[in-house]
Amino acid sequence: MNLVETKPGFDLTLDGRALLSHRPEAPCIFAGKGKERMDMYRGNFDIEDYVVERIPLTHAEVVGDRILLSDHPGQAPRLALTVDGNGLRFEALDASINRLWLRIPAIADETVWGGGEQMSYFDMRGRRFPLWTSEPGVGRDPTSEITFQANKARAGGDYFNTNYPQPTYLSSQRYALHVETTAYSVFDFRNNDFHEIEIWAIPDQIELFAADSFAEIVTALSTRFGRQPPLPEWIYNGAIIGLKDGENSFSRLAVYREAGVRISGLWCEDWVGLRNTSFGARLFWDWQANEARYPGLRQKIAELNDDGIRFLGYVNPYLCVDGPLFKIAEAEGYFATDGEGRTALVDFGEFDCGVIDFTNPAASEWFAEEIIGKRMLDYGLSGWMADFGEYLPIDVHLANSVDAKLMHNQWPTLWAEVNAKAVAGRGKSGDALFFMRAGFTGVQKHCPLLWGGDQSVDFSRHDGLVTVICGALSSGLVGNAYHHSDIGGYTSLFGNVRTPELLMRWAEMAAFTPVMRSHEGNRPRDNLQIDQEAEVLEHFARMTRIYVHLAPYLKTLSEAAASTGLPVQRPLFLQYQDDRATYTIQDSYLYGADMLVAPVWQAAQTRREVYLPKGDNWIHVWTGRAYGGGETVEIDAPLGHPPVFYRAESAHAALFKGINTI
Amino acid sequence: MNLVETKPGFDLTLDGRALLSHRPEAPCIFAGKGKERMDMYRGNFDIEDYVVERIPLTHAEVVGDRILLSDHPGQAPRLALTVDGNGLRFEALDASINRLWLRIPAIADETVWGGGEQMSYFDMRGRRFPLWTSEPGVGRDPTSEITFQANKARAGGDYFNTNYPQPTYLSSQRYALHVETTAYSVFDFRNNDFHEIEIWAIPDQIELFAADSFAEIVTALSTRFGRQPPLPEWIYNGAIIGLKDGENSFSRLAVYREAGVRISGLWCEDWVGLRNTSFGARLFWDWQANEARYPGLRQKIAELNDDGIRFLGYVNPYLCVDGPLFKIAEAEGYFATDGEGRTALVDFGEFDCGVIDFTNPAASEWFAEEIIGKRMLDYGLSGWMADFGEYLPIDVHLANSVDAKLMHNQWPTLWAEVNAKAVAGRGKSGDALFFMRAGFTGVQKHCPLLWGGDQSVDFSRHDGLVTVICGALSSGLVGNAYHHSDIGGYTSLFGNVRTPELLMRWAEMAAFTPVMRSHEGNRPRDNLQIDQEAEVLEHFARMTRIYVHLAPYLKTLSEAAASTGLPVQRPLFLQYQDDRATYTIQDSYLYGADMLVAPVWQAAQTRREVYLPKGDNWIHVWTGRAYGGGETVEIDAPLGHPPVFYRAESAHAALFKGINTI
């Protein structure tokens, strides 16, 4: 990064791009003080800031690589910036500052992406994005009936709510900017001539990444944040079937097999047993096999393995007070406390839990070894949903003495690390597969697979099938190569239930993602299940065969992810950066470089429009018809035949052509 | 006001109260810059501010009565304050400042009231109140189904939305504070140790009023803002009956008379004729009698007058493009323009209107003389609803060249003044009675009667019957002696319709207010009308007889209002300032000093609790039973017998006792 003093003022440039430009009359940094109000209701946050001061730091003095910023000439500097390679380090000289606002030059015709895993808007321009890990909300659209209903329990959410935020963005100006902080922050892309970054702390630094191609920048980001191991070999055997039906899960799995479903795993989140509440059955949050619900489970796992099917379970970072593990953890002091030394209890709906304090190395080690190591991996689990991570209460006291408000965003990464260490400790990296919905900076290094969270069981714009694409594409740009989702969605509330069409449309998208996995949803009995309707089961079976058929191609994508950090699901612009028409597309994606997938994401559609990028010819997999790039085509898309194309020039063309025979 | 320099810093005190206290480490004034986004949708505003700078003016220099404030010692002063009697004048020395925040010392155990006419919260402590005249909203509660539905057209509103805001509050610390500005402002009473006042401009001044008693402060405020003429004599004849049924209105009025209803006026808002739209019939916005809809109207008005019944109409400050008056006004250049000299047109739902520019003296004079004078008063009208006033679009250009954003809040006052001048010009002050829902500072001087706006036809907490009490009490404290409401409410949307119970409960409250007036509502045919059900009509008739019975007492209240500015409907604390239990009561009121009225404001209630203030004995009007003060009593309250008490010691006790014989 290049620092140029302009007297008065300065410019910071990177490869010719002005990334910070300061003049006394147009300062790029404001410092101040705020008092936040933050209320958490079961992972949903109500946050408001009272900005007491917001002072433009108009006066800059450049001394070597260091910039001292103050209100006015002659006033004591409040902030020091130091250029450090492609980073800019921040140092508060006025300890009372707890808010910082940076303005990054922007142009009107600029697109920005990223922000972690964004579920509503892939192109972030024109909107403001708070970056704070939380429940994503139900419906995520305050104008919708479902969100209105959910908001009565403060659970409705909005477009920016996500389990996995990250203060990193990529600009069409061919650079990326990352803010190294765990504090609450906001990316505000609503202005024409600048982007504003708000941080509720003095960040460690901002880091800049510039290159001629978007792909190089994505590679650089994945190098910075860490890459995932390749997909495990067993995953290529088919779909992971999610069933939570106790012993019945095995007989139901047999139905899937008999129907020709290709299966890589059986995932039973109820492997720990159930708890009955007035809301219905919940899992028993004590992380060890419940042989009352799953008699002879180890034998059954072994038998599944003989058939090439792995067994997966469930875990989260809490322990319920009435489970045996709670007593052990409490005796050792492994829980976050309430400030008076007592275990902080969190109400999860008719049962209380302690929060394992992952800032205590002994607690992390215990959880990794005693729970994940001994009770899960050694027991025979090959993977699990590593649920939650976004709920750290902001008022608990932690072993490292850092304010929980500053640890909140980091919690998903710590949680991922505990899981990854447990897996590595058993030598199972790249074989045991856990998947998380929560994330933050650094989760990339530890979490081998994201899952898109708890979509509603519908086609809604802000919480349905289509949001999963947005989640995959945004998280993929910041270093998460692998993304997948619950086939059919998860959240069924206020009478919203799955239709056969939804299940089928979701399955036919999932066939073109790194991992296919089904889920019975939050209310299995109220909702259609894949094995309940012959047409749905048959469709699903065919999709798993397509997935398996594409395994050789998917393996090359997994290898590419390991070597370049490019995600398996890619936004069109990542491969076609000179075609601006691709920049804001969020309802279709490239599956690797050679396939273009345009899922049908609305109900009752049998055709859809698809933009085909300029510079390649595209073959429609179901008809073999060739299309020139650079145009929008309208394609027949009956159930079972979603719009999927491949590059005519692809080395895998023969494989792709074979899809139509399945 | 007393200015004391504390070196560094200063205190401003009034009668021993610290009303501004400044220290470098605890500044009382912040100055800055903001960029607002304001969108109007038919009188509903979506407003957001981007605060670019908020700078504590830490350094104060006192020179005589003048205080110069700057960021730091040695910096150029940004703001000058000058003590001027009990006012503090503001002068910007830095022309770029367009935001100001003041902190007024507060204590935890303090109550604040006022803010103009507030419909949801009488005690404003703990909440934030933007002060901007607008539609109040439908339901006014984002958690309610009706507001959710209304918000689809951005019309739902919230607790702070009101037709009549005013930046004036009264504190239990026995002082009032008024901000003299027409800019958008905010009273923020959420903090324990200070109140924060935000103003989107440099205000002219703040004015302070202190006294030992609340009554003296209210008198001072009414002196400052202007008092209303006494109620007209004819009003004591009974209720104003609102009918908008063309010729049928007269035959329907006869039904009321035959049922024993005491009548002072017939109010026909459709006197101007109708326009058919897809929403249903709307008034034709061209302000002159429509003799097609009301044949022989002058003859009928004369006949009504013979019977002691006045005729009232309707007017608002717009003219529709397809009416004859529009052409005249446009030819004379009386309309606000679009900045290119063309008449600015406002869409009111399938018809466009011009906005009379009341900053043009010729336009105001024309409207007062040609419309209200000749076409209304000379025609025979004795009163009217002077509707609207809160809709001035913020993007029009006005004759006085002031930004419409600064004129928006002032518009209701200008509109009131046009009406008042027209009335005064005909020598009809104190006889012709117009009523307004919109207001702002200064409306008191011109508007003889407030009406509480468009409540929903229900018992809801934030838009039903009970909100009218809050509106009367808050507006009464800042100098509006007379308040009344549409009996039965107005807004019927999304299936919400009047019940007989609602009509009756509303009428039995209205009997104990300065004016009884009925309204058919926005959807007359979908809603129960008083004359459609015998029980309702009989109940209404009795209530009008009670109203007339109390006329001698009401006259004394009207005289007291003229001499002291005390409102007819008074919060309990105004008469019982040593009884803190009265401070937050907003569902009962004193009708003058001697009666306590506690309307039943919820459905299906036949009893309610009533707090009786300490220091008097209270007689329940229906049973004659006496109660000591200082306690909450639970009282039977069947339909027709709302909880009403009178002071045992009242000079009017005999009159009050007679109510029970009606």
pLDDT tens profile B256-289: 999 999 999 999 999 999 999 887 889 999 999 9
Using a pLDDT cut of 70, give the percent of chain B over it: 100
**Which residues of chain B lie closer than 8 angstroms to A30, CB-CB?**
52-53
What DSSP designation does A531 have?
A: G
Task: Please tell me the distance in Å from B32's CA to the nearest CA on chain A.
Answer: 9
B440 with B410: CB under 8 angstroms? Answer: yes
What is the DSSP secondary-structure string of A207-234? EEEE-SSHHHHHHHHHHHH--PPPPPGG
Q: State the average pLDDT for chain B.
A: 97
Count Cα neighbours of B380 within 13 Å in the Cβ-side half-sphere.
20
Percent of chain A scored above 70 by pLDDT?
100
Using CA atoms, how far apart are residues B193 and B208, in angstroms rounded to an integer? 19
For residue B54, list chain A residues with Cβ-Cβ distance below 8 A.
32, 51-55
Task: Say which DSSP state A371 is in.
Answer: I
With CA atoms as reference, the chain A residue closest to B146 would be A148
Chain B residue at shortest CA distance from A30: B53
pLDDT value of residue B279: 75
Give the gap in angstroms from C-alpha A189 to the nearest C-alpha of chain B. 13
Asked if the C-beta of A32 comes within 8 angstroms of chain B's C-beta atoms, the answer is: yes
Please answer yes or no on whether A54 and B56 come within 8 Å at the CB atom: no
Contact: B51, A52; criterion CB under 8 Å: no
Mean pLDDT of chain A: 97
Residue A206 · residue A441 · CB < 8 Å:
no
Active site residue B454: yes
Report how far residue A537's alpha carbon sits from residue B122's, in angstroms, rounded to the nearest whole number: 61
Q: Tokens 């947005």 belong to which residue?
A: A470
B32 with A51: Cβ contact below 8 A: no
Mean pLDDT for the stretch of residues A8-34: 95
Res A582 pLDDT > 90: yes
> How confident is the model over A243-280, as pLDDT tens digits?
999 999 999 999 999 999 999 999 999 999 999 988 78
The pLDDT value given to residue B339: 85
A16 confidence band (pLDDT: 50, 70, 90): confident
Q: Please check whether residue A459 is in contact with residue A466, taking contact to mean a CB–CB distance below 8 angstroms.
A: yes
pLDDT at A376 over 90: yes
Task: Give the closest of B54, B75, B145 to A72, CB-based.
Answer: B75
* Best CA proximity match to B566, nearest among B627, B499, B480: B480
pLDDT of residue A365: 98
pLDDT tens-digit map of A484-535: 999 999 999 999 999 999 999 999 999 999 999 999 999 999 999 999 999 9
Strand order in the sheet with A644-647: A569-570, A589-591, A595-597, A644-647, A617-620, A626-628
Residue found by looking up tokens 């609305």 in the block: A602
Q: State the smallest CA–CA distance between residue A33 and chain B in angstroms.
A: 10
By C-alpha distance, which of A554, A423, A450 is closest to A116? A450
Q: Amino acid identity of A490?
A: Y
Mutate to test the interface with A, among B46, B72, B94, B144 (most CBs of A within 10 A): B72
Residues of chain A positioned with their CB less than 8 A from the CB of B74: 74
Average pLDDT rounded to a whole number, residues B230-249: 98
Q: Which is the catalytic residue, given B269, B454, B520, B594?
A: B454
Q: Which of A228, A238, A308 is nearest to A558 (CA)?
A: A228
Smallest Cβ–Cβ distance between A54 and the set B51, B72, B152 belongs to B51
Of B51, B71, B152, the CB nearest to A71: B71
Residue whose pair of structure tokens reads 């740009």 in the numeric block: A477
Using CB atoms, pick whichever of A53, A75, A148 lies closest to residue B148: A148
The band of A32, judged by pLDDT with boundaries at 50, 70 and 90, is very high
Q: What is the pLDDT of residues B428-459, one digit of tens each?
A: 999 999 999 999 999 999 999 999 999 999 99
The strand pairing partners of B345, in sequence order, are B354
Interface contact B75, partner A, CB < 8 A: yes
Chain A residues within 8 A of B32 when measuring between CB atoms: 54
Q: Can you spell out the DSSP letters for A301-369?
A: HHHHHHTT-EEEEEE-SEEETTSHHHHHHHHHT-B-B-SSSSBPEEESSS-EEEEB-TTSHHHHHHIII
Candidates A53, A72, A145; nearest CB to B56: A53
Q: What number does CATH give the domain B572-661?
A: 2.60.40.1180
Minimal-distance CA residue of chain B relative to A156: B143
What is the band of A339 on the pLDDT scale with cuts at 50, 70, 90? confident
Q: Which residues of B touch A76 (CB under 8 A)?
A: none
Share of chain A above pLDDT 90, in %: 97
Pick from B72, B148, B152: which is nearest to A71 by CB?
Answer: B72
- Closest approach of B468 to chain A, Cα-based (Å): 27
Residues in chain B: 662
Contact present, A114 and A224 (Cβ < 8 Å): no
Chain A residues with CB under 8 Å of B71 CB are 71-72
Nearest to A438 by CA among A129, A227, A164, A184: A164
Q: Is the pLDDT of residue A440 over 80?
A: yes
Closest CA to A540 of A586, A503, A495: A503
Cβ contacts of B145 on chain A, cutoff 8 Å = 148
State the angle between helix axes of A465-477 and A500-510 in degrees (0 to 180), rounded to the nearest 10.
Answer: 20
* pLDDT (tens digit per residue) in A168-221: 999 999 999 999 999 999 999 999 999 999 999 999 999 999 999 999 999 999
What pLDDT, on a 0 to 100 scale, did the predictor assign at position A523? 94
Residue of B nearest to A31 (CA): B53
A187 touches chain B (CB under 8 A): no
Ordered DSSP codes for B421-481: HHHHHTT-TTTSEEEBS---TTHHHH-S-EE----BSS--TTTSHHHHHHHHHHHHHTT--
**Greater pLDDT, B396 or B279:** B396
Enumerate the β-bridge partners of residue B22: B10
In A, which residues are within 8 Å of B143 by CB distance? 151-152
pLDDT surpassing 90 at residue B349: no
Q: Sorting pLDDT into bands at 50, 70 and 90, what band is B609?
A: very high
Whether residues B53 and A55 touch (CB distance < 8 A) is answered with yes
Amino acid at B327: K
Tokens 């750290």: give the residue.
Answer: A392
d(CA A662, CA A546): 7
Count other C-beta atoms under 10 Å from residue B258's C-beta: 11
Ramachandran bin of B306, using left for φ above 0, alpha for ψ from -120 to 50, beta for the remaining angles: alpha
What tokens appear for A139 in the block?
Answer: 């419906």
Question: How large is the average pLDDT for residues A387-414?
Answer: 97
Residue A583: name the closest of A167, A171, A19 by CA: A171
Contact with chain A for residue B30, Cβ under 8 A: yes
Cβ of residue B156 closer than 8 Å to a chain A Cβ: no
Helix (H, G, I), strand (E, B) or coil at A272: helix
Which pair of structure tokens corresponds to residue A222?
A: 């994945």
Please state whether the peptide bond connecting residue B8 to the residue before it is cis, i.e. omega within 30 degrees of 0. yes
Residues in a beta bridge with B34: B51
Of A53, A74, A152, which has the smallest distance from its Cβ to B74's Cβ?
Answer: A74
- When pLDDT is cut at 50, 70 and 90, the band that residue A93 belongs to is very high
Helix (H), strand (E) at residue A552: helix A551-564
Predicted confidence (pLDDT) per residue in B336-347, tens digit = 999 899 999 999
Residue A135: CA count within 13 A, CB half-sphere: 22
DSSP alpha helix (H) spans, A400-533 = 404-407, 411-425, 443-446, 465-477, 500-510
- How many C-beta neighbours within 10 Å does residue B534 have? 9
Chain A contact for B72 (CB, 8 A cutoff): yes
Which chain A residue is nearest to residue B28, measuring alpha carbons? A52
pLDDT at A279: 75
Which residues 573-632 of chain A have a CB within 8 Å of chain B?
none
Q: Which of A54, A128, A190, A198 to mutate to test binding with chain B, by most B CBs within 10 Å of its CB?
A: A54
List the single residue in B53, B56, B148 with the smallest CB-CB distance to A56: B53
Distances (CA, A) of A562 to A140, A439, A556: 34, 20, 10
**Residues in Cβ contact with A237 at an 8 Å cutoff, skipping those fewer than 6 apart:** A262, A263, A264, A308, A309, A548
User: CA B618 to CA B77: how far, in whole Å?
Assistant: 59
Mutant choice from A102, A148, A494 vs B, greatest count of B C-beta within 10 A: A148
The answer, for A51 touching chain B at a CB cutoff of 8 Å, is yes
CA A89 to chain B, closest CA, distance in angstroms equals 24
Contact check, Cβ <8 Å, A51/B55: no
Task: Give CA–CA dist B472/B405, Å, rounded.
Answer: 27
CB A619 within 8 A of CB A645: yes
**Rounded to the nearest 5 degrees, what angle is found at the Cα of B535, between the Cα atoms of B531 and B541?**
65
Q: Catalytic: which of B270, B357, B390, B587?
A: B390
Crossing angle for the helix pair B214-225 and B465-477, nearest 10 degrees?
Answer: 80
Residue B134, pLDDT > 90, answer yes
Q: Which of A29, A50, A154 to mutate to test the interface with B (most CBs of B within 10 A)?
A: A50
d(CA A585, CA A323): 48
A570-661 maps to CATH 2.60.40.1180:
yes
Q: Which stretch of DSSP H or E encloses residue A535?
A: helix A534-549
Q: Residues A424-438: pLDDT tens digits?
A: 999 999 999 999 999
Residues of B in contact with A53 (CB under 8 A): 30, 54-56
Q: Which of B286, B357, B387, B587 is catalytic?
A: B387
Distance CA A320, CA A346 (A): 9
Does the beta carbon of B49 lie under 8 angstroms from any beta carbon of chain A?
no
Chain B closest CA to A467's CA: distance in Å?
A: 23
User: What is the Cα–Cα distance from B542 to B262, expressed in whole angstroms?
Assistant: 9
Q: Give the integer Cα–Cα distance in Å for B367 and B344.
A: 18
- At residue B14's C-alpha, the angle toward residues B13 and B16, to 5°, is 75
Task: Report, in angstroms and rounded to the nearest whole number, the Rg of chain B calculated over CA atoms.
Answer: 25
A636 phi/psi in degrees, rounded to 5? -65, 135
Check if A7 contacts B (Cβ < 8 Å).
no
Interchain CB contact of B305 with A (< 8 Å): no
Rounded Cα–Cα distance for residues A36 and B593 (Å): 45
> What are the φ/ψ torsions at residue B502 (nearest 5 degrees)?
-60, -45
In the DSSP assignment, the letter for residue A115 is E
What does residue B575 show for φ and ψ, rounded to 5 degrees? -100, -15
A158 touches chain B (CB under 8 A): no
Using a CB-CB distance cutoff of 8 angstroms, which residues of chain B are in contact with residue A148? 145, 148
Q: Are A318 and A325 in contact (CB under 8 A)?
A: no
